[in-house]
Structures are given as structure tokens and as C-alpha cells.
Amino acid sequence: MKKKTIYYTSFEQDLVTATQQDYVLPTDYLWEKNQFLSWLTRHGVKGLAKLFCPFYLHWHKAKDTREKRLPDQGCYLYVNHTQTVGDALIPYYLLKKKWPAIIVSPANLSLPIIGSLIPYGGGLPIPNNLRQMRKFNQTVARNIAHNRCVVIYPEAHVWPYYTKIRPFSAGAFHYPAQDNAPVYCLTNTYQKQKFGRKPQITSYLDGPFFAPAELTLQERRQNLQEQVQKCMQERSQKSTYSYIDYQRREAK
């Protein structure tokens, strides 16, 4: 069967779009949600992840990182952005005893039905303006203080089943560079299954990564970005099957 081909002109291109890709958060948006509704939603998402990840995505953790666990303290987890629904569920499946707080694009809130549940399931939409940034920063810091795992997709855009690591900036590492919380990365790789066209997902968990304390904030961000990107690029070579053929076109 012929592979699906996706053409792109830039790594910044949105290949999967939401109902309202330019959705803007209300000026009075609150990141802290009703605790009971959040508890209910999170348990529902975790139950869905237990079915969706192993049976639909055929997700499993690599043998050489199977015993590695995230710490009990607050930490950051960086993941390559290659699944639409899966990228929201894999952290729930991976984290057995911790709740993830997943930084997402505001466009996700425009999705029918699911969009309204995302904030209650731990989704933290990025502010559209500087006025909201202080409250957002406080919410991220509060999640770390409550020993949660803040999940960040540094590639920013979903490219389904993409097998390489796209560039990401040092700015994606602002928070761990600032609070010195441990940094981990999860690299999703793809291998052909015996039956069916869709590949299985093998994920590699690595870390912790820290930046030297004597460096400036900007240098710590750069240092963490280099460590994590290098690790994820090496792990991405474990992909042995390309489900979608990505081809670059020159911009007109």
C-alpha cells in the first residue's frame, strides 16, 4: 500500500489544525480549575489512556529505560510532538502516580467537546499576551511546587508519526533553567508491526538533566536545550519505520 505523503515548507508549519487555529484566550481566563471537576476529568483521562495507549497506539517503553522513573518531586518532561490524541494520553499512561500538567496551544480549546475538558485534564494553554503571562508563570511554578510533572512539546507543532527531531529553541527551557527542577525527555520512536500498516511506538525516557548553577539564566536555557535535543536526536535513530513520507518544498 502506498504511503501517505505530506509536503511542508517550514518546521514551523501547522500540519494539523484545530477548529479555530487563531483562538485567543479570554482576558479573564483562569488556569486554576474546580478541583472536583479536575479530579473527575483526570481519572477519566487516565482510564482512557490505559486502553488507548497499549491497544490502539501499541505504545510501550523501551527495555533499556523500562526501570527508569520520574522523581517524586516536581519535574519537567520534554516530548517530541508526533501524535494528535496520543500526545495528550501518553503522559497519563507513563506517569503512574503523578498528574501531568501539559502546556498546550490555545487553539486546542476550540476543539468540539474535548476542548472544554482540556483545562480540567491538566492542559495549560499558553497566554496570547504579556498581561496574562504572570498568572501562567505562577500556575507552572505551583504545579512544580505540588510535585507534578510539567510536560512540554518543544517542537510546538504536531507532525503525525514524524521520525526525526525538529529544531526547538532555548526559550522552551526557560522554566527549568529558572527553578532548577530536574529535566527529563521522552522520545517516541516508530517500528513496523507484524500486522497492519500503523507502526508501534517505543518510547525512551532519559534524564535527569541539569544546567550548571554558575551559568547565567540564558546560558542555562541554552545548556538544557543542547543536552535534551542531542539526547532526543540520538534516540530518534531507533525509529526503523516511516508510516508517513514527509517531503520538503521550497516556499513560493
CATH assignment at residue 220? 3.40.1130
User: Is 18 within the bounds of a domain?
Assistant: no
Beta strands in the chain (DSSP E): 4-8, 59-61, 75-79, 100-104, 123-125, 149-152, 183-191, 200-209, 244-248
The residue written with cell numbers 500486522 in the block is 195
pLDDT at 219: 96
Quick one: average pLDDT of 34-39? 93
Range of the domain at 99: 29-248
Q: Are 198 and 205 in contact (CB under 8 A)?
A: no
**Tens-digit pLDDT profile for residues 176-198:** 999 999 999 999 999 999 888 89
pLDDT at 89: 96
User: Is 154 within the bounds of a domain?
Assistant: yes
User: Is 244 within the bounds of a domain?
Assistant: yes
Query: Which pLDDT band, with edges at 50, 70 and 90, does 1 fall under?
Result: low
With a pLDDT cut of 70, the percent of the chain lying above it is 99
Q: What are the residues whose beta carbons fall under 8 Å from the beta carbon of 230, sequence distance 6 or more?
A: none
Mean pLDDT score of the chain, rounded to an integer? 93
166 vs 113 pLDDT, higher one:
166
How far is it, in rounded angstroms, from Cα 193 to Cα 191? 6
User: Is 6 within the bounds of a domain?
Assistant: no
User: Is 14 within the bounds of a domain?
Assistant: no
pLDDT at 194: 85
The residue written with cell numbers 505504545 in the block is 59
Query: Which pLDDT band, with edges at 50, 70 and 90, does 131 fall under?
Result: confident
Residue 251 has pLDDT above 80, yes or no: no
pLDDT at 148: 95
The identity of residue 79, as a single letter, is: V
The residue written with cell numbers 517530541 in the block is 80
Quick one: average pLDDT of 11-25? 86
The CA-CA-CA angle for residues 158, 150, 98, to 5°, reads: 115
3 vs 95 pLDDT, higher one:
95
pTM assigned to the model: 0.95
For 107, left (φ over 0), alpha (ψ -120 to 50), or beta?
alpha
Residue 217 has pLDDT above 90, yes or no: yes
Residue 181 CA to its chain's centroid (Å) = 17
Query: Which pLDDT band, with edges at 50, 70 and 90, does 66 fall under?
Result: confident
Residue 247 has pLDDT above 90, yes or no: yes
Overall domain count for the chain? 1
pLDDT at 156: 92
User: Is 132 within the bounds of a domain?
Assistant: yes
How far is it, in rounded angstroms, from Cα 232 to Cα 236? 6
